[in-house]
Amino acid sequence: MTAVEILSKLVSFPVLGGQSNISIAEWIESHLTTHGVAFCNVPNEDGSKRSIHCRIGPAVDGGLILSGHMDVVPTEGQPWETNPFELTDVGDDKLYARGSCDMKGFIACCLAMVPEMVAADLKVPIYLALSYDEEIGCIAAPALAADIVSHYSEVPKFAIIGEATMMRPAVGQKGIVIYKTTVNGSAGHSSRIKQEVSAINEAARLILWLEEKMNRLIDEGQVDERFVPPHTTIHCGLMEKSGIAPNVIADSATFYWDVRVIPKDKSVDILEEFRAYCAELELENRKRFPDFKVETTEDHPDVPPLDTPEQLEVVPLIKKLTGKEELITVSYAAEAGQFAEVGFQSVICGPGDIAQAHRADEFVSKAQLESCTAMLKKLIEEFSV
């Protein structure tokens, strides 16, 4: 099967992040079996989802992991011109479907090359690692990467995470985490604002503190010019309905905030400092209302940033495979930092433009799929000598 044929099969499985992915996993597994490739599963607790990994080539240390995620984002409410779960070729070199770019195009190229990988005289192995639930917080990658380490006696050296970069090598990625903060204040007549504690007022103080913290980091020189913007961002994007009427003091307020860190900042440090400020507010407000409380929990797992130093071997390798000298960074979340944490030298490089991802009429161009296939052919060649 060609990459385009495989892609049209893969996009027909409308598996969203959070949903069972057994249907698409089974299809991929049968493709591997057809080509004589044994695979392993890393299931979730109730068995409704599973990651897949396999190794093609000799059982020796080294080699490279090709990594992708099988889930996609929803299409609901988006003005699609085509059926999002049917690969549509309208003759403009673009292949339209949900997931064509993010990131079933990459998986399709990898699967189409499996017969060539099997037939090649590989000196070091090529691994495939396919996860689920990437789109709702890179949930499955840590267990998948850990299973690759524990399952095989030999250790892979490199990983390419095939997120859309227009086939340009990306060596840096911001991390992301989302927190939920709930403030518990005291209700009362609004005339008693000096006796009660308004949860909304205290939440407002906390949200402004977050913005000031971001600005402080910038002022302290915590910048990394490789990223746009070149600093960690901290932002509150959602407040739950808080309070019941303009003339009633709100006894509860909840807001969500995201932190997108450059590699030199750590989200846990920011959280720790935020919690210290919350403790100060608690101390102060409990004089008026003893049950005053601020609670913060993780609402989206802490996905680490990627920062692959240029002196690592994976950098010249990916330059050679893509024929591109320029290294880029990306500001979206991906599983690359999680693969790097396990010890694999990791880069992000895949077909399609991230600008097409997550929106109506998502597409990948045939030219991009071809250059991904060319990279994989080069990889096989490189590993065969």
Closest CB to Zn ion among residues 138, 317: 138
Instruction: Give the count of beta carbons closer than 10 Å to the beta carbon of residue 56.
Output: 24
Least separation in angstroms between CB 102 and Zn ion: 4
Contact yes or no for 186/292 (Cβ under 8 A): yes
Least separation in angstroms between CB 139 and Zn ion: 13
| Residue 345 CB contacts under 8 Å (≥ 6 apart), including other chains | 157, 158, 159, 308, 312, 313, 314
- Residues within the interface to Zn ion (CB under 5 A): 102-103, 163
Closest CB to Zn ion among residues 163, 224: 163
Least separation in angstroms between CB 133 and Zn ion: 11
**Beta pairing class for 94-96 and 88-89:** antiparallel
Closest CB to Zn ion among residues 145, 249: 145
Under DSSP, is residue 373 helix (H, G, I), strand (E, B) or coil?
helix
Give me the phi and psi of 42, to 5 degrees please: -125, 95
Contact yes or no for 294/125 (Cβ under 8 A): no
C-alpha distance from residue 71 to each of 168, 211, 330 (Å): 23, 33, 20
Least separation in angstroms between CB 140 and Zn ion: 13
Least separation in angstroms between CB 54 and Zn ion: 20
Closest CB to Zn ion among residues 6, 72: 72
Point out the residue whose Cβ comes nearest to Zn ion: 102
Torsion angle of the four alpha carbons 216, 218, 221, 226, in this order, in degrees rounded to the nearest 10: 160
Closest CB to Zn ion among residues 134, 265: 134
Only one residue has tokens 């999002």, namely 84
Least separation in angstroms between CB 6 and Zn ion: 18
Closest CB to Zn ion among residues 42, 103: 103
Q: Nearest-5° angle of CA 203, CA 204, CA 206?
A: 65
Least separation in angstroms between CB 358 and Zn ion: 9
Give the burial class of 312: count Cβ atoms within 10 A of its Cβ; 0-12 exposed, 13-18 middle, 19 or more buried.
Answer: middle
Contact yes or no for 276/308 (Cβ under 8 A): no
Closest CB to Zn ion among residues 57, 137: 137
